């Protein structure tokens, strides 16, 4: 897989010109659910600006509302209050330029890997003219040989790669990752973290990652936002200026990890 | 499929022969052949009970003999001819069938243990199949035409209604109570009403078959659409899918396994309604033939019609399962029919 990553980076020079990432603006957003009739506040007056091409990780305890924030950014739900905008345009609904990769790959079991990856193009009637994009996306995630396989024939890591290809086909300017590596075994995880960085560097899209893995957040992101317990507020912001490729053993990352864990109140054991 | 591995082993099939499994297979085939040979001998050489000399006994003996020889040939040739290896699998069943026919023949024609005319011997069935096949064939065709019309209408309407209820709250509001009220009522209960409301018994029966098919198809399609993983919709929506796309390319394919359960149940229901409708009003078809045969105390005809009916119904269900296997090949752990 290291070889695959290297090939991905080489491809960057050959393939389509990198797109500029989108700027994301989250302004004073609050959100609540109705739980048995009573309102359950999930997000509270949250504001965050993400610059084009940034890789921002949202880190917080589970159930704190990180995933809800992503659903708002994706346009799957409107916020109870506040404003979300991409490149200055308010988010009114889902858009293929903002694609989500969910924690479960949620591939359609009745479609082959190729047809799953082609979903976005097919939905927008572009499949005929852009078939090559599907092949290219599958090549990028290292699944060219599995184009005709069905999801039940794939391992967890391969399924998540296919889900990633399904997102990349749409040439997103903002990639929204909802714990995409959360259910993978640790070795596959490490491999795919490297691949994610390579993809992001190559394509130049803005990335918003939700995770509860401190190490993952620091290894991948340029900025880590630490969220509080529900209702989620921004507790701290840790900027990580380490250049890529990063090394897991980097003492600077270890220091940052201690800092982040302190914000989460978990530094006692470190 | 295990045949692909057998294909690979074809050139060395001879080497497989001495193994325990091959010997067992060979013995099974020979036993089946012997059982049919026994049936043939029984028919030919044991004279029927006096005053009950059944026609076609000699012919059935010839058929059994031919079958025994074919079986013997297939068993011996099966190591070289791969399609024949199916014979090995069905040999125990063929043996049992031959034994059953023998017992039946002995209990009826040879010893007259069972009362006549309710239990005719096997040659009588052969006689019906050979002499009355035009009428039987016509009946099969008539039944099939009636069933196909009703079933296709019922399945189409049921599928459409199921998708609509599963997808749209407004449609569900209006159709759901009707479905709950009318659905559980057996379609045959409408029979007296349908026969005078509809212009012909044929259209009445088509309606009833459609009704019997439509209910399970609607309910199962509906629950299939309702149980689609909601993240499937999220995924499609984030990549730009329209509502139409969500229904056609997400909801319906995801619901297909349920739809096929509904189609299967609907097919079973439709057989029941078909036979009752043909017995009570329609003047054609296998149901009518059964009724007619019983009226004339032609019990051999009745058994022959039952046999054909069982084969036809089973064949249709097999067809449905084949279709499902093709369409849902992506699914794991399908029940084989």
Under 8 Å between Cβ of B207 and B150: yes
Range of the domain at A15: 2-97+173-269
Closest alpha carbon within chain B to A77? B234
CA distance A158 to A175: 19
**Euclidean distance between the first and final Cα of chain A, in Å?**
32
Asked whether residue A33 falls in the same domain as residue A82, the answer is yes
Asked whether residue A136 falls in the same domain as residue A224, the answer is no
Q: What is the pLDDT of residues B31-71, one digit of tens each?
A: 999 999 999 999 999 988 876 678 888 899 999 999 999 99
CB contact under 8 A, B239 and A123: yes
Asked whether residue A157 falls in the same domain as residue A36, the answer is no
Best B227, B229, B236, B240 member to test A by mutation, with max A CBs in 10 Å, is B240
Tell me the two tokens of residue A208: 């918003």
Give backbone dihedrals phi and psi of B321, rounded to 5 degrees, phi first: -65, -35
Kindly state whether A172 is in contact with chain B, defined as any CB-CB distance less than 8 angstroms.
no
Kindly state whether A123 is in contact with chain B, defined as any CB-CB distance less than 8 angstroms.
yes
Asked whether residue A121 falls in the same domain as residue A78, the answer is no
CB contact under 8 A, A150 and B330: yes
CB contact under 8 A, A96 and B253: no
Asked whether residue A190 falls in the same domain as residue A244, the answer is yes
CATH node for B133-327? 1.10.3720.10
Give backbone dihedrals phi and psi of B79, rounded to 5 degrees, phi first: -60, -25
ipTM over 0.95: no
CA distance A84 to A98: 13
DSSP state letter for B140: H
Asked whether residue A193 falls in the same domain as residue A245, the answer is yes
DSSP state letter for B2: T
Residues of chain B in Cβ contact (below 8 Å) with chain A = 229, 231-232, 234-242, 245, 249-250, 253-254, 256, 328, 330-332
Checking if the pLDDT of A269 tops 90, the result is no
Q: What is the 3-state secondary structure (H, E, C) of chain A?
A: CHHHHHHHHHHHHHCCCCCCCCCEEEEEEEEEEEECCEEEEEEEEEEEEECCCCEEEEECCCCCCHHHHHHHHHCCCCCCEEEEEECCEECCCCECCEEEECCCCCCCCCCCHHHHHCHHHHHCCCCCCCHHHHHHHHHHCCCHHHCCCCHHHCCHHHHHHHHHHHHHCCCCCEEEEECCCCCCCHHHHHHHHHHHHHHHHHHCCEEEEEECCHHHHHHHCCEEEEECCCCECEEEEEECCCCCCCCCCCHHHHHHHHHHHHHCCCHHHC
Residue A103 lies in a domain: no
Count of structural domains, chain A: 2
pLDDT-derived band at A261 (thresholds 50, 70, 90) equals confident
Residue B289 burial (C-beta neighbours within 10 Å; 0-12, 13-18, 19+): buried
Checking if the pLDDT of A17 tops 70, the result is no
Checking if the pLDDT of A8 tops 70, the result is no
A:B CB pairs within 8 Å: 71
Residue A33 lies in a domain: yes
Residues A6-32 have a mean pLDDT of 65
Checking if the pLDDT of A10 tops 70, the result is no
Averaged pLDDT of chain A? 85
pLDDT-derived band at A65 (thresholds 50, 70, 90) equals confident
Closest alpha carbon within chain B to A168? B239
Taking 70 as the pLDDT cut, the residues of chain B under it are 1-19, 51-52, 332-337
Asked whether residue A44 falls in the same domain as residue A151, the answer is no
* pLDDT value, residue B335: 53
Residue A58 lies in a domain: yes
Chain A neighbors of B244, CB-CB under 8 A? none
Q: Give the closest-approach CA distance of B327 to chain A in angstroms.
A: 9
Asked whether residue A239 falls in the same domain as residue A112, the answer is no
CB contact under 8 A, A150 and B237: no
CB contact under 8 A, B231 and A167: no
**Euclidean distance between the first and final Cα of chain B, in Å?**
15
CB contact under 8 A, B238 and A108: no
Q: Give the closest-approach CA distance of A252 to chain B in angstroms.
A: 37
**Tokens 């050979």 sit on residue:** B130
Under 8 Å between Cβ of B35 and B95: yes
Chain A neighbors of B232, CB-CB under 8 A? 106, 108
Asked whether residue A75 falls in the same domain as residue A113, the answer is no
Kindly state whether A124 is in contact with chain B, defined as any CB-CB distance less than 8 angstroms.
yes
Greater confidence (A203 vs B143) lies with B143
CB contact under 8 A, B240 and A108: no
Give backbone dihedrals phi and psi of A47, rounded to 5 degrees, phi first: -130, 140
pLDDT-derived band at A113 (thresholds 50, 70, 90) equals very high
Asked whether residue A179 falls in the same domain as residue A247, the answer is yes
Query: Which residues in B176-198 are b (16+ Cβ under 10 Å) and which e?
Result: eeebeeeeeeebbebbeebbeeb
Chain B neighbors of A123, CB-CB under 8 A? 236, 239-242, 245, 249
Cβ partners under 8 Å of residue A251, min gap 6? none
Question: At which of A128, A147, A170 does a domain end?
Answer: A170
Chain B neighbors of A110, CB-CB under 8 A? 253-254, 256, 328, 330-331
CATH number of residue A78's parent domain: 3.40.50.300
Kindly state whether A171 is in contact with chain B, defined as any CB-CB distance less than 8 angstroms.
no
Asked whether residue A37 falls in the same domain as residue A152, the answer is no
* pLDDT value, residue B116: 79
Asked whether residue A40 falls in the same domain as residue A137, the answer is no
- Within 18-37 of A, beta carbons closer than 8 Å to B belong to none
Checking if the pLDDT of A74 tops 50, the result is yes
Q: Give the closest-approach CA distance of A254 to chain B in angstroms.
A: 36
- Averaging pLDDT over each range in A84-98, A214-228, B7-21, B205-219, which range is the top one? B205-219
Chain B neighbors of A119, CB-CB under 8 A? 235-236, 239, 241
Chain B neighbors of A166, CB-CB under 8 A? 235, 239
Cβ partners under 8 Å of residue A211, min gap 6? A57, A58, A59, A179, A181, A182, A217
CB contact under 8 A, A104 and B231: yes
Residue A102 lies in a domain: no
Under 8 Å between Cβ of B325 and B334: yes
Checking if the pLDDT of A107 tops 50, the result is yes
Which residues of chain B does CATH 1.10.3720.10 include? 133-327
Checking if the pLDDT of A12 tops 50, the result is no
Nearest to A96 among B240, B242, B253 (CB): B240
Residue A206 lies in a domain: yes
Question: At which of A170, A193, A218 does a domain end?
Answer: A170
Best A105, A108, A120, A168 member to test B by mutation, with max B CBs in 10 Å, is A108
Kindly state whether A263 is in contact with chain B, defined as any CB-CB distance less than 8 angstroms.
no
Question: At which of A151, A170, A189 does a domain end?
Answer: A170
């Amino acid at each position: 897989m290291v070889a695959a990553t290297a090939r991905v980076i080489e491809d960057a020079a050959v393939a389509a010109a990198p797109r500029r990432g989108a700027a994301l603006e989250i302004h004073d957003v609050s959100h609540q659910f109705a739980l048995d009739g009573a309102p359950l506040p999930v997000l509270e007056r949250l504001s965050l600006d993400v610059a084009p091409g940034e890789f921002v990780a949202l880190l917080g305890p589970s159930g704190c509302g990180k995933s809800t924030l992503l659903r708002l950014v994706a346009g799957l739900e409107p916020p109870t209050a506040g404003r979300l905008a991409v490149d200055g345009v308010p988010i009114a609904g889902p858009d293929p330029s903002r694609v989500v990769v969910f924690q479960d790959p949620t591939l359609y079991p009745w479609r082959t890997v190729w047809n799953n990856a082609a979903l976005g193009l097919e939905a927008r009637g572009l499949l005929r003219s852009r078939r090559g994009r599907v092949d290219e996306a599958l090549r990028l995630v290292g699944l060219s040989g599995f184009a005709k396989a069905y999801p039940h024939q794939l391992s967890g890591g391969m399924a998540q790669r296919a889900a990633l290809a399904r997102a990349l086909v749409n040439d997103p300017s903002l990639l929204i990752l909802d714990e995409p590596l959360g259910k993978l075994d640790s070795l596959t995880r490490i491999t795919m973290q490297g691949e994610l960085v390579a993809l992001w560097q190559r394509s130049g899209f803005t990335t918003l990652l939700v995770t509860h893995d401190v190490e993952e957040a620091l290894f991948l992101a340029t900025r880590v936002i630490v969220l509080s317990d529900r209702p989620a507020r921004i507790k701290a912001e840790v900027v990580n200026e380490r250049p890529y490729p990063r090394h897991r053993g980097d003492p600077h990352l270890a220091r940052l990890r201690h800092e982040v864990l302190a914000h989460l109140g978990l530094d006692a054991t470190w | 499929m295990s045949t692909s591995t057998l294909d690979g082993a074809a050139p060395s099939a001879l080497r497989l022969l001495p193994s325990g499994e091959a010997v067992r297979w060979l013995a099974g085939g020979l036993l089946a052949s012997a059982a049919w040979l026994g049936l043939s001998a029984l028919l030919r050489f044991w004279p029927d009970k006096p005053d009950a000399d059944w026609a076609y006994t000699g012919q059935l003996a010839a058929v059994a003999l031919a079958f025994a020889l074919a079986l013997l040939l297939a068993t011996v040739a099966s190591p070289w001819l791969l399609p024949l290896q199916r014979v090995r699998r069905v040999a125990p069943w063929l043996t049992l069938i031959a034994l059953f026919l023998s017992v039946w023949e002995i209990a009826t024609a040879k010893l007259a243990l069972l009362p006549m005319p309710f239990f005719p011997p096997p040659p009588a069935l052969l006689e019906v199949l050979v002499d009355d096949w035009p009428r039987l064939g016509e009946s099969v065709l008539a039944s099939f035409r009636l069933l196909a019309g009703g079933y296709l209408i019922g399945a189409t309407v049921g599928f459409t209604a199921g998708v609509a209820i599963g997808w749209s709250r407004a449609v569900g509001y209006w159709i759901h109570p009707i479905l709950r009220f009318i659905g559980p009522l057996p379609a045959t209960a409408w029979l007296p009403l349908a026969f005078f409301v509809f212009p012909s018994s044929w259209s009445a029966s088509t309606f009833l078959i459609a009704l019997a098919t439509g209910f399970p198809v609607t309910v199962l399609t509906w629950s299939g659409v309702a149980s689609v993983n909601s993240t499937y919709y999220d995924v499609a929506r984030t990549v730009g899918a329209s509502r139409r796309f969500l229904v056609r390319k997400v909801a319906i394919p995801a619901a297909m396994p349920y739809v096929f359960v509904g189609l299967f149940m609907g097919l079973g229901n439709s057989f029941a309604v078909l036979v009752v409708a043909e017995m009570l009003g329609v003047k054609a078809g296998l149901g009518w033939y059964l009724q007619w045969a019983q009226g004339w105390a032609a019990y051999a005809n009745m058994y022959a019609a039952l046999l054909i009916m069982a084969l036809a119904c089973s064949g249709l269900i097999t067809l449905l399962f084949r279709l499902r296997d093709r369409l849902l090949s992506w699914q794991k752990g399908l029940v084989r029919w």
